[in-house]
Amino acid sequence: MNDEFENDFSTDGIEFDETVPGGSAYENLIPIEEDVISDEISVPRTTNVGIIAELEAETAKENNFANGHTRNPRSPNVVDDEISNESESTIVNSDLNFVCDTNEYPPPRDDARYYSELRRNRDQFFILSDAGKPIYSRHGNEEDNAELNCLMQALISFVESDDSSSYSSNNADNLLYVNTGTCKICFLHRPPLILVALSKDPAVLNFRLKQQLTLIYNQIVSLLTASRLTKIFEEHKNFDLRRLLTNTNRIFDSLIRSTESDAACMFNAVRCLDMAGSLRDIVNQTLTNSIGKTNAIVFAIILSNSQLVAISRMKKYTLHPLDLGLLINLVATNSSYKNCELWIPICLPRLDSSGFLYAHISKVSEMCDACMILLTVDRNSFFILSQVRTTFVEKLLKSKTLQSFIEACNVRKNVRLSETQITDTWHFLYKNRSSSQIVCPEFEQPYNNEKATKRLMNLYFALHNFMHSYYDRSTNILKIYFVNGDKENLLGWITGNFELYAVFNPLVSKTVAIGSVERLMRWLKKEEDRLFILNPVLL
């Protein structure tokens, strides 16, 4: 890793404008973790447990004192917390609109074809239980991986100490990585699950594979909750978890694709829709006014093209970018909201890994793909939240803002590099660290194909990982790092407020590159109203 980068730590005599684009009161809305990379992808185990119960108690208390409040009939898809495994399977399947015939079994495996496909795939992801039961395989049928599952489960058991009853055991040895020269294998043991990633791409870092596995684990928790997952396997060690995850493979497939090419997913951030600041303020205010005195809503979110348009939240609670990413992935893999209003229980691991929130997901207008997500702890508030959506559209229509909103959602996708008028820069990635909002332009020449895009993302991630390994917040050691490459030059710039990674023509010198990023920072500051959410709204 170190050989890939040249030693160039000198920043003497260089002064930078520390005015941070995107820095605002919004920084309290989506806080990031401490300046340690492992913390950014950590999996919550016992922290934040009980927030859902606290919210439920507060909501119930407020409802008891509300005058004239009548509880709405229960949504047919919502059931009691204490349910059997069979009824829980029905919840997941019906709420996510999945259908599966469990009486059909896959045909016997063709060994020659199986091993041929296994060698051909450049990456593979597996999920299995501690007992070796298959749960998910990115390529092929998980039932065909019986021998591999046994091998992976045996490797984990061999390395771990006998007294390691959980991953958090201080005395436990854990199998993390295996490098064979041509293949990298990453293991993530989160009892009762074992997750394994395999990659033949020499540019992929072990840490990135761990990040992908962590996101997959959180995706499972979002569907079942961590406490329920643990309880299931405590009572039935050989339980087949696929019974509760019927036809959810597309959710995992989509998440993995996002970790390979989506900078927001890779860097634990959120991308905001490019929209005029004045229009965004109107949308945010209209959203809050539509909610009014409805005390059941914890978060109100508007998305378009997997980008954040507006967000409102209760004062006491924040939405972590990891949780928001899970919501975005859920919407991206379930188009049913375009035809009807959805009511889906979902666990947000960074908010509370032990309980469900209930998400009302609906389309804002038939003229665009923008959707509204209203999150509540009250399982009986479907019709209340449906009325909030109706009120929001009516208010936009009355203020003559709806058409402008639709045009913004349909016309603008991502920033184009040509807008910056900086010719030396091939691409850049900017992240405001306090709000976890990111700007990533369209991928243009020479990164306008899937292979080149993945390669660029690997370069960004390698530079990010290398700099964070040496970055010291107190002394600003390794604040700037410049890399001379054969195909392109890279520059990384990290402060306590932001991160900037830029790619240049291989003939560009360090001095020219620094001048370019200074101009880029001034452009970002000028355009921050449309690129970032500056004014958070509290409910």
pTM: 0.80
Using CA atoms of 319, 320, 324, 327 in order, give the dihedral in degrees to the nearest 10: -80
Class of the domain covering 271-411? alpha beta
Architecture of domain 2-30+414-531: 2-Layer Sandwich (3.30)
Buried b (16+ CB within 10 A) or exposed e, 361-370: bbbbbeebbb
Give, in degrees to the nearest 5, the angle at Cα 454 between 451 and 458: 140
For residue 76, the Cα-to-chain-centroid distance in whole angstroms is 29
* Token duo for residue 23: 């820095």
Q: Is 179 helix (H, G, I), strand (E, B) or coil?
A: strand
* 206-236: pLDDT as tens digits: 888 999 999 999 999 999 999 999 999 999 9
Surface-to-core class of residue 137, CB atoms within 10 Å of its CB (0-12 exposed, 13-18 middle, 19+ buried): buried
Q: Domain segments of the chain: what residues?
A: 2-30+414-531, 111-245, 271-411
> How many other CB atoms are there within 10 angstroms of residue 374's CB atom?
30
Distance between first and last Cα of the chain = 47
Report the candidate in 400, 409, 369, 372 with the shortest Cα–Cα distance to residue 274.
409
Q: Are strands 270-271 and 437-439 parallel, antiparallel or unpaired?
A: parallel
Give, in degrees to the nearest 5, the angle at Cα 428 between 425 and 432: 140
In the block, tokens 């005195």 appear at 293
Report the candidate in 51, 123, 94 with the shortest Cα–Cα distance to residue 316.
51
CA distance 317 to 285: 19
* 100-131: pLDDT as tens digits: 444 445 566 565 666 666 666 678 899 999 98
CA distance 114 to 119: 9
Q: What is the Cα gyration radius of the chain?
A: 24
pLDDT tens across the length of the chain (539 residues): 444 433 343 334 344 444 667 764 433 333 333 333 333 333 334 446 677 777 777 776 666 554 444 334 333 333 333 333 433 333 334 344 433 444 445 566 565 666 666 666 678 899 999 988 999 988 877 777 777 888 888 888 888 865 544 444 455 678 899 988 888 999 999 999 999 999 988 888 888 899 999 999 999 999 999 999 999 999 999 999 999 998 889 999 999 999 888 899 989 999 999 999 999 999 999 999 999 888 889 999 999 999 999 999 988 888 999 999 999 999 999 888 888 999 999 999 999 999 999 999 999 998 888 999 999 999 999 999 999 999 999 999 998 899 999 999 987 678 899 999 998 899 999 999 889 999 999 999 899 888 899 899 989 999 998 888 876 655 656 789 999 988 999 999 998 889 999 999 999 999 999 999 999 999 999 999 999 998 777 86
Query: Where are the strands (E) in 419-496, listed by range?
Result: 425-432, 437-439, 480-483, 489-494
Architecture of domain 111-245: 2-Layer Sandwich (3.30)
CA distance 191 to 168: 10
Q: Do domains 111-245 and 271-411 have the same CATH topology?
A: yes
